[in-house]
Structure 1
Amino acid sequence: MDQNIGTVEIDGFEASAFYALDAFSALLTYAKSDSQKQSDSISAEPLDREVGDSAGLTLKYALTDYNVDLRWQWQKTFSEDAKEGYQVHNITAVWVPQQFAHKLNITLGVDNLFDELYVSHASRTGSSNHPVFGLLQLDDYEPGRNIKLSASYQF
């Protein structure tokens, strides 16, 4: 059963820098987030599912002769309270066949390239009071290495 936890104060910011030169581009991002549940008691605490601080870098190179974009993405989430930090690397190739006039694109990629075992700070499932082990944190682990192939057509 869901219930309202009351008032929450969230402070933070997001910043990004973009650079492009010919067929190459880079996007660097940083986000900071701090939350506190507001209550009548003295001990306000952060949200259980707060993402916290993270950084990202996306590098892209366009092979214009072949209508292919190659992309590498890195995401780093920093440690937050009792939550471990993690980093994930993704690579993707997107092909847009010229004969379909930018209506069809085919994507091949590998997410979580190095098969990192991690729990996203935003996807914790909560806790359980086990009769023998006491209070247990229930973690929702993200998928391991994931190979994807997709096609989309716009009409």
Structure 2
Amino acid sequence: VERYAWLPTGASGGLADGNTYVGDLHLEPETADSIEAGFDWRGDSVYVRPTVFYRRVDDFIQGVAYDATPGVIDTPVEMVSMMNGDATPLRFANVDAEFFGVDADFGWRLSRAWRIDGVASLVKGDRRDIDEPLYRMAPARLLLDLTYEQADWSVSLESQFVAEQDRVSATNSEQATDGYAVFGANLDWYARDNVLVTLGVENLFDETYERHLSGYNRVAGGDVAVGDRLPGQGRGAYARISAAF
């Protein structure tokens, strides 16, 4: 996408965020240095596996203002972009970036039948060439499952807690998003030793929310206004049969 050629402008609208991006055939490849550390600890009824990491990226590819006068239509690229609905196109360019964060999974067996399992993740990304957060960084997230299990079946209450994301990129006109909590439930039943039947419900309470990494609506006349983020998935049910041979 970063080197995509369309018309005489090398432009693409493929990031679903309302921006026109102009490619550059001369982009340098990204290079990164990473360091991470973690441990795995397991007791009689508890386990935890945290990992912290830092990644320094040179020539990170991200959209930046097309020229020094954004909004002033003084080049053919900006003229074509304006005709297609974006008066402030961006261009893919090499910038410098860094990421640091933590990932962890953990669990606690409350009794022979009950257990809790979880995954937590937090990452922060910044540009090193200017004082600005990187574009489209996922907010902090915690997944928790409470499970009751028997010999041939189990039922789980699933929960997903997502923090607000207000560290956004001004260069990319990124919008902040609110935090939310979504719940679900599923039943696993081993009908036979090699046959698993799964029934489940996602977004059990039909919560209205917006995922930070979702695209923006560009179609008029619908329930979502042009320029607003597409909403998260509503309540849904599913069934699945898995067999091993």
In the alignment, what sits opposite 2:52?
A: none
CA RMSD of aligned residues (A): 2.2
In the alignment, what sits opposite 2:29?
A: none
CA 1:127/1:145 → structure 2, altered by over 3 Å: closer, same or farther? Answer: closer
Gaps of 5+ in 1: 129-135
Gaps of 5+ in 2: 1-11, 15-22, 24-60, 63-93, 167-175, 219-225
Matches within 5 A, 1:70-149: 70-81=155-166, 82-98=176-192, 101=193, 103-123=194-214, 125-126=215-216, 137-149=227-239
Choose the corresponding residue for 2:147, options 56, 60, 65.
60
Q: State the 1:23 CA deviation.
A: 1.9
Larger Rg: 2
* Number of residues of Structure 1 aligned to a counterpart in Structure 2: 140
Contact 2:185 2:202 in 1 (8 A): yes
In the alignment, what sits opposite 1:29?
A: 119
Q: State the 1:127 CA deviation.
A: 8.0
Q: State the 1:150 CA deviation.
A: 1.3
Higher mean alpha-carbon deviation, 12-21 vs 85-94, is at 12-21
Which of structure 1's runs of 4+ aligned residues deviate more than 4 A? none
TM-score normalized with structure 2 length: 0.52
Task: Give the structure with the higher percent strand.
Answer: 1
Q: State the 1:118 CA deviation.
A: 1.3
Residue identity over aligned pairs, in percent, reads 23
